[in-house]
A = this chain, B = another copy of it.
Amino acid sequence: MTSPTPRSPGRAGLQNVTLHDVAREAGVAVSTVSRALTQPDRISPATRARVQEVARRLGYRPNRIARAVVSGRTQMLAVLVPDITNPHHFGLIRGAEERARAADRTLVLGDTRGDPGLEADHLDRLGSVVDGIVLASSRLPDADLLELARRRPVVLHNRELPGLPGVVTDFDDGIRQTLAHLVALGHRRVAYLSGPRRSWSEGRRWAALTAGATQAGVTVQRLGPFAPTLDGGRAAADAGLASGATALVGYNDLLAIGVLRRLEECGVPVPGTVSVTGFDDIFGADFCHPPLTTVTAPTEEAGRALVDVLLDDRSPDPERIVLPVRLQVRQSTGPAPPTS
């Protein structure tokens, strides 16, 4: 069973059997074949059966590209995340996929590496191909986003922009809970290990932190920015130690885990000397050493909500959903050391 009759190669040599082939073989018009396959009620049972049989026998597969050129829809949705290797996005992706599948859409994923240039590039390529776009933690300027949204439905994750629908994690509350936890443990000097300055969530967390700090009467200083990665965390650990703070609030878990690793290497007891917290509750946060106290968010629900909002485009005005968070206390936080 080698390759069968090498069908007419066409210009691309790829297209297999088309509606025309089926039509010719079945002795009917192209339109009849099309209808027999997509609107069966429109064609008599006899013809329909014959056409379907021929289509099956020839191994006909509809060309979705050609279909899209007339319908204007590809039934594909794009999800762009800044870092696909960040476990934080897993839930989002899974949730989005679940809903996309339920709505009979194909999800395509893209990784922007947190680079606005790459993000724009991806959008340029995908923009005219997909029916809608989920942008997670976009780093693009407001103007670009608005312009994009004029061409395609767009939903933002963890970025707020008047006029565009979005789903955001309740950062403020997460930071508030973290701070309350630390204060209850007796911490009075807190250092924030900041992430990418251009990131919306970074600004949001810092704002919440300063607000909460003044209210609770503790001092908080901002260190960094650091790369939101394990390596970034290693650098952040040193800065955090030098700052004299007794508690380090990391921009996210990736960074916080990097901090923990560095501290362990340096023999600094956690939480004995310094407490560490993260944000996201990613894969690994519960089995690093010590397990990380962090803020957990319902990311799968976020993914579901994002796709729901995207597909539910007959929105009166842009929908805005805020997802609740919860502080997951583990062993990386403890009472502040007695000194100070």
Q: Which residue of B lies closest to A68 (CB)?
A: B65
A288 to B288, CA, bound (A): 5
Interface residues of A in 104-121 (CB under 8 A from B): 106-111
With an 8 A cutoff between CB atoms, is A330 at the interface? no
Query: In the complex the two chains form, is B64's CB within 8 Å of A128's CB?
Result: yes
Query: In the complex the two chains form, is A129's CB within 8 Å of B289's CB?
Result: no
With an 8 A cutoff between CB atoms, is A16 at the interface? yes
Query: In the complex the two chains form, is B73's CB within 8 Å of A12's CB?
Result: yes
With an 8 A cutoff between CB atoms, is A152 at the interface? yes
Q: Give the chain B neighbours of A215 by CB distance below 8 A.
A: none
Query: In the complex the two chains form, is B61's CB within 8 Å of A69's CB?
Result: no
Query: In the complex the two chains form, is B72's CB within 8 Å of A14's CB?
Result: yes
With an 8 A cutoff between CB atoms, is A99 at the interface? no
With an 8 A cutoff between CB atoms, is A320 at the interface? no
Pick the contact of A84 from B72, B90, B131, B147 — CB < 8 Å?
Answer: B90
With an 8 A cutoff between CB atoms, is A271 at the interface? no
- With A16-B151, A93-B84, A288-B288 already in contact, the answer to whether A106 and B125 are too (CB < 8 A) is yes
Q: Give the chain B neighbours of A14 by CB distance below 8 A.
A: 72, 131, 151-152
- Copy number in the complex reads 2
- Residues 1-43 of A, flagged 1 when their CB comes within 8 A of B and 0 if not, give 0010000001111111000000000000000000000000000
Query: In the complex the two chains form, is B90's CB within 8 Å of A85's CB?
Result: yes
Q: Chain A, interface size: which category?
A: 35 or more
With an 8 A cutoff between CB atoms, is A87 at the interface? yes
Q: Which residue of B lies closest to A152 (CB)?
A: B14
A6 to B48, CA, bound (A): 42
Pick the contact of A10 from B15, B72, B128 — CB < 8 Å?
Answer: B72
With an 8 A cutoff between CB atoms, is A126 at the interface? yes
Q: Give the chain B neighbours of A65 by CB distance below 8 A.
A: 65, 68-69, 74, 128-129
Query: In the complex the two chains form, is A71's CB within 8 Å of B12's CB?
Result: yes
Query: In the complex the two chains form, is B15's CB within 8 Å of A72's CB?
Result: yes
Query: In the complex the two chains form, is B110's CB within 8 Å of A107's CB?
Result: yes
Q: Give the chain B neighbours of A107 by CB distance below 8 A.
A: 110
- Residues 271-298 of A, flagged 1 when their CB comes within 8 A of B and 0 if not, give 0000000000001100111000000000
Task: Name 20 A/B residue pairs within 8 A (Cβ), A-sorted.
Answer: A10-B72, A12-B72, A12-B73, A13-B72, A61-B124, A61-B128, A61-B151, A62-B128, A64-B125, A64-B129, A65-B128, A69-B69, A84-B109, A85-B90, A85-B94, A87-B87, A106-B126, A109-B109, A283-B283, A287-B289
